[in-house]
Amino acid sequence: MNSIPNKLTKFIDLGLIEYQQAWDFQTNLFNQLLETKKQNRELSSNEQRTTNNYLLFCEHPHVYTLGKSGNENNLLIKKEELHTINASYFPINRGGDITYHGPGQLVAYPVLDLENFFTDIHKYMRLLEESVIQTLHEFNIESGRISRLTGVWIDHEDKTNPRKICALGVKTSRWVTLHGLALNVSTDLKYFNNIVPCGINDKAVTSMEAELGRKVDVVPVKEILKAKISQLFQMDFR
């Protein structure tokens, strides 16, 4: 563990940003944290530097991303046809299979040194899910988990029509986190027709707008999700 655990967390809203730009931005922070931790191993406890934590929010233009354990066959549209729907494609280094990001989807990338919080990847994933479950509850949308599947689901206890509203995919190295979650707020759901979302072909995808039957502004969703993540991880945004 770090000699001085640091729960100070810098919140950055990147707005609508190209996937490659956001990936480069968070990867740079990720590598800085790893370098600090590497240097700390050579120092005495009173010389070690505290590691920083970041919580990034953003939206992306239309893009499909494939995790390192994913199956490229789950992209149902030919790559050379992606330009016809203004979409791009990236194989990336998170866990999980294929997913879609686009406008109206709130993406959260926590770049944290978990040694500042707890060293438990399972707990980390469940708290990210819990932050979304509590956020949706504020909008009178009841949601939960499905055994052996990641993410957050609507009608999760109804075997006839469970619908995924939030996807998770993360990478960790030396307890530093990368990637995160994607919550469908006002997402254009037809883009999911071009993939087998997360490699699951027998369950649907939904959004807050689809569930509520009305327009949903992403701004209050951001504010609530930020607060829920802060509470659950006991972050300090000062």
* pLDDT > 90 fraction of the chain, expressed in percent and rounded: 76
Q: With a cut of 70, say whether residue 1 has pLDDT above it.
A: no
Q: For the domain that residue 149 is a member of, what is the CATH number?
A: 3.30.930.10
Classify residue 5: in a domain, yes or no: no
Catalytic residue of the set 198, 205, 208, 221: 198
To the question of pTM greater than 0.95 for the whole model, the response is no
Classify residue 169: in a domain, yes or no: yes
Classify residue 49: in a domain, yes or no: no
The predicted model gives 7-28 an average pLDDT of: 96
The predicted model gives 180-187 an average pLDDT of: 97
Classify residue 113: in a domain, yes or no: no
Distance CA 223, CA 205 (A): 23
Q: With a cut of 80, say whether residue 198 has pLDDT above it.
A: no
Residue numbers of the domain that contains 66:
59-105+119-233
58 given a catalytic annotation: no
Q: Which residues of 146-158 are buried (b: 16+ CB within 10 A; e: fewer)?
A: beeebbbbbbbee
